[in-house]
């Protein structure tokens, strides 16, 4: 049996909070460079150059790449042979977020109540925590700092089975086209298909938390991911929506079985900063 | 698209605004004010009650930003633009109070594009998601109102060569519509509706 102490969890979350905001992953930096090579619009190229310059500056001075350091989404995969010791898992995660956002000079962007009493909690807690029990003895935390510019442009639809692939494709394209410049393109698109109303949104978020450039294990969906990427890049939105060929950097789909009468689809957009980090024990 | 870079300093008068066209690259030097969702709500509540705003908006520029806290030795933290459309429903009273320009990212609803024409004001965009880079153009920062709002407090910023692009001018032009029209290479079976708050 593997033991994981809550102190380790708190520290991992604290470090992830800061690291994802200061340091953009190598694979994403590569994607920016490739995008710059492919982009044809002059203003689009300028925007991509600024994005590249910004991530270098942020890393060298440990500054957040974006002022919206996001709501903290923490996805914990716990192997069923793992034992957590020393306290409460949820409290440890929130202590990690609180310390990371305070010690790292990150913006606190969470209000206690959504409607009647929108008062800032002051330390970016609570995090949005998702826990899944998995086989084996893995303990993995995937941390995402999710800005709201792209989150607000995300959409969910309860399609019917007759809508099929075309229905899903049109819904993804419509969501991206209507979002236009608002989610900070070039974007990353997470698509959830299947499950129920409650699970499909989480599938889309999980697609965003998956490794950049990774393909769905089912070749039908893997192909659809690449086709959607190609079609999104024909919408003409371009970097920052100013016109161009690079609107998205990646499209990833997550799927689940669903009811005989249902075809839920969720499209979760992420901005070009696409801040995700992983810690494993 | 204009290749010439225009330089402006607030307060802005009609002569300056008449010269700005969509696509123009503009460098702003001088004082601008920050405000986002919560501060706009208070501004407009104050206006509606007939009260006095903490900032005289006549000819001024509002930057939609909620910066990160400054690290020791820094003037400000990361400070890029936030999505402007969330402020659309507050626009008319702000324009009536004399506001002449806003800086943000993303499109405005068509209602705001009309309001900008009506009140002779412009909408600038700064590049979203490059807040570290933009922070270097800010030379001074101080809170002038609503300190209790934390990252949403109203600040006066002194900026130097702060780079923006004209996205909506006083003539009703819209940079995003033009851009997509130029580069779209796919026929869509649906109409693209702009998300609207006005």
And the tokens for A57? Answer: 């500056």
Q: Does A227 touch chain B (CB under 8 A)?
A: no
> pLDDT tens for residues B21-73?
999 999 999 999 999 999 999 999 999 999 999 999 999 999 999 999 999 99
Q: Is residue B187 part of a domain?
A: no
Is B193 among the domain residues?
no
Domain with B100, as residue range(s), is 8-182
Name which of B63, B71, B74, B128 to mutate to probe chain A: the one with the most chain A Cβ atoms within 10 A of its Cβ.
B128
Query: Which residue on chain A is closest to B131 by alpha carbon?
Result: A66
Residue A8 backbone dihedrals phi, psi, to 5 degrees = -65, -40
Q: What is the pLDDT of residue B4?
A: 80
Confidence of residue A148 (pLDDT cuts 50, 70, 90): very high
pLDDT of residue B196: 78
Domain extents in chain A: 2-22+65-146, 149-274
* pLDDT for B2: 46
Any idea which residue has 């820094």 for tokens?
B74
Q: Which residues 106-165 of B are in CB contact (within 8 Å) with A?
A: 106-107, 125, 127-133, 135-136, 149-152, 165
B-proximal residues of A, 102-141, CB under 8 Å = 105-109, 118, 120, 122
Q: What is the dihedral of CA A89, A94, B129, B101, to 10 degrees?
A: 150
Domain assignment present for B197: no
Query: Mind telling me how many Å the CA of B185 is from chain A's nearest CA?
Result: 5
Minimum distance, in Å, between the CA of residue B84 and any CA atom of chain A: 8
Confidence of residue B198 (pLDDT cuts 50, 70, 90): low
Q: What is the mean pLDDT of chain B?
A: 96
pTM for this one?
0.97
Q: Does residue B3 fall inside a structural domain?
A: no
| Rounded Cα–Cα distance for residues A169 and A265 (Å) | 10
CA atoms within 13 A on the CB side of A268: 23
Domain count, chain B: 1
- Are B83 and A182 a contacting pair at CB < 8 A? yes
Please indicate, yes or no, if residue B195 is contained in any of the structural domains.
Answer: no
In a domain, B63, yes or no: yes
Q: Mind listing the pLDDT tens digit for each residue in A82-134? A: 999 999 999 999 999 999 999 999 999 999 999 999 999 999 999 999 999 99
The whole-number average pLDDT for the span B104-126 is 97
ipTM over 0.90: yes
Task: Quickly name the fold that domain A2-22+65-146 has.
Answer: Dihydrodipicolinate Reductase; domain 2 (3.30.360)
- Model confidence at A69, pLDDT cuts 50, 70, 90, reads very high
Q: Is the pLDDT of residue A261 over 70?
A: yes
Query: In this model, does residue B1 exceed pLDDT 80?
Result: no
Residue whose token pair is 């400054």: B70
What mean pLDDT is predicted for residues A47-75?
Answer: 98
The residue of A242, A245, A267, A273 whose CB has the most chain B CBs within 10 angstroms, and thus the best one to mutate to test that interface, is A242
Q: What is the CATH number of the domain that holds B56?
A: 3.20.130.10
Catalytic-residue membership of B61: no
Q: Is B188 part of any domain? A: no
């Amino acid at each position: 049996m593997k033991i994981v102490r809550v102190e380790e969890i708190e520290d991992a979350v604290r470090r992830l909070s800061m690291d994802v905001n200061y340091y953009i992953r190598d694979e994403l930096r590569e994607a920016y460079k490739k995008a710059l090579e492919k982009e044809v619009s002059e203003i689009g190229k300028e925007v991509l150059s600024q994005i590249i310059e910004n991530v270098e500056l942020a890393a060298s001075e440990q500054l957040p790449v974006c002022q919206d350091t996001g709501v903290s989404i923490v996805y914990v995969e716990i192997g069923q042979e793992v034992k957590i010791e020393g306290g409460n898992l949820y409290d440890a995660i929130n202590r990690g977020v609180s310390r990371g956002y305070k010690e790292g000079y990150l913006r606190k962007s969470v209000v206690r109540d959504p409607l009647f009493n929108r008062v800032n909690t002051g330390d970016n807690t609570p995090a949005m925590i998702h826990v899944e029990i998995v086989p084996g003895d893995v303990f993995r935390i995937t941390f995402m700092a999710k800005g709201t510019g792209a989150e607000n442009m995300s959409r969910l639809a309860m399609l019917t089975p007759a809508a099929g692939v075309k229905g899903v494709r049109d819904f993804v394209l419509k969501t991206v086209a209507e979002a236009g410049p608002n989610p900070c393109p070039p974007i990353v698109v997470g698509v959830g298909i299947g499950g129920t109303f409650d699970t499909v949104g989480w599938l889309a978020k999980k697609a965003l938390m998956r490794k950049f450039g990774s393909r769905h294990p089912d070749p039908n969906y893997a192909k659809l991911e690449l086709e959607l990427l190609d079609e999104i890049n024909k919408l003409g939105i371009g970097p920052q929506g100013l016109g161009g060929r690079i609107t998205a950097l990646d499209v990833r789909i997550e799927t689940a079985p669903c009811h005989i009468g249902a075809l839920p689809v969720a499209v979760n957009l992420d901005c070009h900063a696409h801040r995700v980090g992983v810690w494993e024990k | 698209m204009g290749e010439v870079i225009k330089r402006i300093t607030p307060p802005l008068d009609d002569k300056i605004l008449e010269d700005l066209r969509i696509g123009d690259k503009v460098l702003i030097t001088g004082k601008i004010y920050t405000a986002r969702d919560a501060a706009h709500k208070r501004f407009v509540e104050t206006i509606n009650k007939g009260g006095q705003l903490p900032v005289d908006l006549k000819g001024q520029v509002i930057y939609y930003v909620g910066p990160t806290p400054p690290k020791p030795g820094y003037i400000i933290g990361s400070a890029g633009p936030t999505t402007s459309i969330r402020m659309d429903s507050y626009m008319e009273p702000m324009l009536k109070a004399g506001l002449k320009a806003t800086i943000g990212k993303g499109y405005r609803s068509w209602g705001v594009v009309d309001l900008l024409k009506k009140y002779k004001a412009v909408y600038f965009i700064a590049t979203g998601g490059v807040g570290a880079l933009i922070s270097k153009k800010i030379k001074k920062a101080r809170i002038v109102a609503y300190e209790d709002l934390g990252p949403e407090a109203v600040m006066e910023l002194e900026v130097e060569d702060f780079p923006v692009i004209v996205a909506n001018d006083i003539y009703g032009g819209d940079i995003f519509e033009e851009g997509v029209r130029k580069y779209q290479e796919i026929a869509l079976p649906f109409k693209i509706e702009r998300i609207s708050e006005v």
